[in-house]
């Protein structure tokens, strides 16, 4: 490209005007020729010349220059210097700190100001020095027991302030006295009372896994509940049960159930006890767990075979155990009976369970010990054929007083069942036209109950199935805490304690007495709030909701609650607008 082309081709309007006016000024031709040369009309060129003469046209307007001094005031610059000197913040941190005060300054500007002022660059800090983890999460403070004598007034948010509703029931239940008496792990920073309260709190919240509690690590409200500044970390909670033995857990379970029986006998008044196994699936490959049938997965896989006992009429859990091998599962009912005799002194209740819970020789032992039971007999093709030969006139039609049952009028046939080496025959009650294609066979050694009562009692055995479903959905017992059975048993025991506290709390909620834990949590517990401390008392402030009038009718929540693990400081619950 020739240098002349810059002045001939693609000429800007200003340059074109300049060249035309310059040619006229130096008389390079007549006005007509100059206008034709630069593609102007003669009149247009005359107008340009006239405007230039009268100062109305500027060929080269002055360029506006920006400010030569820094736009930031000295006050903001001094604030940047202060943040670097006192807080040792980097440029990004200073920018974020200024943004909190509605001061918009870029990172590069801060870097330039610091550099011109002679500040050296900060050394690269570790994640711990920056207070964050490798995943960018804030590292919470170390969990420590609160020293009430030095605790300063504060105000903190709590994600689920409704957990404080359990405090009067927890103190009344005597669980803390048992914790102080039994052998439970503790550390230099966290006592066994605070560790147990942390474990119980997470159970009351229905959290899926102890490893998934990072969202609660910085919640000071939860820390106050447990007598700590913040809750312990997931690693501590997951490994807490590692220092407990099977013997210690059984002693703890006995003390807890014995205590609940004495304090809340109305929750355990039942003529029957439902028994059942529950298989918790495990997905690890290196564990030494046996393969069991897992109904939740509908297949056989590695898992923990656990056992539960429930008060049939009140739905309250009485017993649990986890370290059960398949070859020992049939004897587990005997271990429960020994436990119940140790706690209560005698087994007056009728035990209700399905046909796969134990063997006939174990049933024989129960019969000889005078323990009543109701179970169902396994069917065979020959047994069904023999049943179908019974004449219709020998069948008795009865009515079952079960409200939600579809088939309430069924046919039954009772006959004695003689088993080998048994002293006394069992009662066998055969049912047909009861909603199933084939007859069902209920057997019992309780000879005092009517036929209708026996069938109705066995029908209520599904209450333990419903309870296990509740434990899976809300308390997440299918989320194994460990492949070690002792730790699973420990976790299940805290599940029973949390479930019992929900039962006790529900008794004071009018018209919600029979509701399950998930509904109680959803309607009354799961609500955020503010926890305040003024130096003399704790105040939990919760905004009113639709169910607040029911909570206002609970007397235990209206009076100040003295918290033993917080220096007997009172705690008040206030509902705000």
* 44 shares its domain with 106: no
pLDDT digits (tens, 9 = 90+) for 538-558: 999 999 999 999 999 999 999
Token digits of residue 180: 């102080």
CATH of the domain at 419: 3.90.350.10
pLDDT at 409 over 80: yes
Domain end (from 452, 473, 494): 473
Average pLDDT over residues 140-168: 91
For residues 231 and 144, what is the distance between their CA atoms, to the nearest angstrom?
9
**All residues at 6 or more sequence positions from 31 whose CB lies less than 8 Å from its CB, including other chains:** 24, 42, 45, 46
* 116 shares its domain with 9: no
Query: What is the model's pLDDT at position 1?
Result: 56
For residue 549, is it within any domain? Answer: no
Secondary structure of residue 416 in the 3-state scheme: strand
Q: Lowest-confidence range among 174-178, 283-287, 304-308, 342-346?
A: 283-287
**All residues at 6 or more sequence positions from 180 whose CB lies less than 8 Å from its CB, including other chains:** 192, 193
**All residues at 6 or more sequence positions from 315 whose CB lies less than 8 Å from its CB, including other chains:** 463, 466, 467, 503
> What's the DSSP call for residue 141?
P
Half-sphere exposure of 447 (CA within 13 A, CB side): 9
* 392 shares its domain with 327: yes
Nearest-CA neighbor of 203 among 235, 177, 237, 178? Answer: 237
Domain end (from 415, 439, 473): 473
**All residues at 6 or more sequence positions from 252 whose CB lies less than 8 Å from its CB, including other chains:** 178, 182, 184, 493
What pTM value is reported for the model? 0.78
For residues 462 and 170, what is the distance between their CA atoms, to the nearest angstrom?
29
Query: What is the model's pLDDT at position 20?
Result: 86
**All residues at 6 or more sequence positions from 190 whose CB lies less than 8 Å from its CB, including other chains:** 143, 144, 145, 198, 228, 232, 236
Angle between helices 107-116 and 74-87 (to 10 degrees): 80
For residue 161, is it within any domain? Answer: no
For residue 239, is it within any domain? Answer: no
Question: Counting every residue, how long is the chain?
Answer: 577
| Biggest CA-to-CA distance, the chain | 143
If you average pLDDT over every residue of the chain, what do you get? 88
* 315 shares its domain with 351: yes
Token digits of residue 110: 């801060």
Token digits of residue 417: 């069942």
For residue 246, is it within any domain? Answer: no
* 304 shares its domain with 354: yes
Residue 10 or residue 462, greater confidence: 462
Query: What is the model's pLDDT at position 135?
Result: 60
Contact of 336 with 324, CB cutoff 8 Å: no
Query: CA of 94: how far to CAs of 213, 230, 379, in Å?
Result: 31, 28, 77
Q: Lowest-confidence range among 411-415, 475-479, 514-518?
A: 475-479
Host domain of residue 81: 74-124
* 370 shares its domain with 452: yes
Instruction: Give the number of domains in the chain.
Output: 3
What's the pLDDT band for 208 if we cut at 50, 70, 90? low
* 303 shares its domain with 339: yes
Token digits of residue 308: 């539960």
């Amino acid at each position: 490209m020739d240098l002349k082309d810059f002045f001939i081709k693609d000429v800007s309007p200003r340059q074109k005007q300049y060249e035309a006016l310059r040619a006229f000024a130096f008389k390079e031709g007549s006005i007509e020729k100059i206008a034709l040369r630069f593609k102007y009309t003669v009149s247009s060129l005359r107008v340009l010349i006239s405007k230039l003469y009268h100062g109305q046209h500027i060929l080269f307007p002055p360029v506006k220059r920006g400010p030569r001094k820094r736009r930031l005031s000295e006050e903001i610059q001094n604030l940047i210097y202060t943040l670097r000197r006192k807080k040792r913040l980097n440029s990004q941190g200073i920018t974020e700190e200024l943004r909190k005060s509605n001061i918009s300054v870029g990172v590069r500007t801060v870097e330039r100001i610091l550099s011109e002022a002679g500040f050296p660059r900060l050394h690269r800090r570790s994640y711990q020095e920056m207070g964050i983890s490798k995943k960018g999460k804030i590292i919470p403070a170390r969990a420590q027991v609160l020293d009430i004598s030095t605790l300063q007034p504060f105000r903190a948010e709590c994600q689920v302030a409704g957990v404080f509703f359990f405090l009067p029931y927890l103190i009344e239940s005597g669980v803390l006295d048992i914790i102080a008496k039994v052998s439970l792990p503790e550390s230099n920073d966290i006592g066994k009372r605070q560790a147990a309260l942390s474990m119980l709190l997470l159970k009351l919240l229905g959290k899926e896994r102890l490893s998934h509690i990072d969202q609660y690590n910085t919640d000071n409200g939860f820390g106050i509940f447990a007598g700590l500044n913040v809750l312990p970390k997931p690693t501590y909670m997951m490994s807490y049960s590692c220092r407990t033995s099977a013997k210690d857990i059984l002693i703890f379970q006995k003390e807890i159930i014995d205590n609940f029986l004495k304090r809340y006998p109305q929750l355990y008044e039942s003529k029957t006890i439902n028994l059942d196994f529950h298989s918790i699936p495990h997905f690890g490959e290196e564990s030494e767990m046996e393969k069991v049938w897992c109904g939740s997965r509908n297949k056989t896989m590695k898992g923990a075979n656990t056992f539960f006992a429930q008060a049939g009429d009140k739905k309250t859990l009485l017993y649990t155990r986890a370290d059960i091998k398949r070859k020992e599962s049939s004897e587990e009912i005997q271990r429960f009976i020994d436990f119940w005799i140790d706690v209560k002194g005698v087994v007056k209740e009728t035990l209700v369970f399905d046909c796969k819970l134990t063997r006939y020789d174990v049933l024989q032992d129960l019969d000889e010990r005078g323990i009543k039971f109701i179970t169902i007999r396994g069917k065979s093709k020959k047994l069904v054929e023999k049943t179908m030969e019974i004449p219709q006139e020998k069948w008795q039609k009865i009515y079952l007083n079960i409200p939600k049952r579809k088939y309430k009028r069924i046919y039954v046939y009772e006959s004695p069942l003689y088993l080998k080496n048994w002293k006394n025959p069992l009662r066998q009650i055969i049912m047909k036209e009861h909603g199933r294609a084939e007859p069902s066979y209920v057997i019992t050694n309780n000879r005092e109950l009517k036929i209708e009562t026996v069938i109705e009692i066995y029908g209520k055995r599904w209450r333990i199935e419903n309870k296990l479903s509740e434990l899976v959905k809300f308390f997440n017992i299918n989320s194994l805490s460990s492949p070690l059975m002792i730790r699973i048993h420990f976790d299940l025991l805290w599940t029973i304690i949390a479930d019992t506290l929900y039962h006790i709390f529900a008794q004071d909620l009018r018209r919600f007495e029979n509701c399950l834990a998930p509904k109680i949590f959803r309607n009354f517990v799961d609500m955020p709030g503010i926890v305040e401390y003024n130096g003399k008392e704790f105040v939990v402030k919760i905004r009113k909701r639709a169910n607040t009038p029911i909570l206002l009718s609970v007397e235990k929540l209206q009076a100040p609650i003295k918290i033993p693990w917080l220096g007997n400081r009172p705690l008040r619950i206030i509902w705000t607008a």
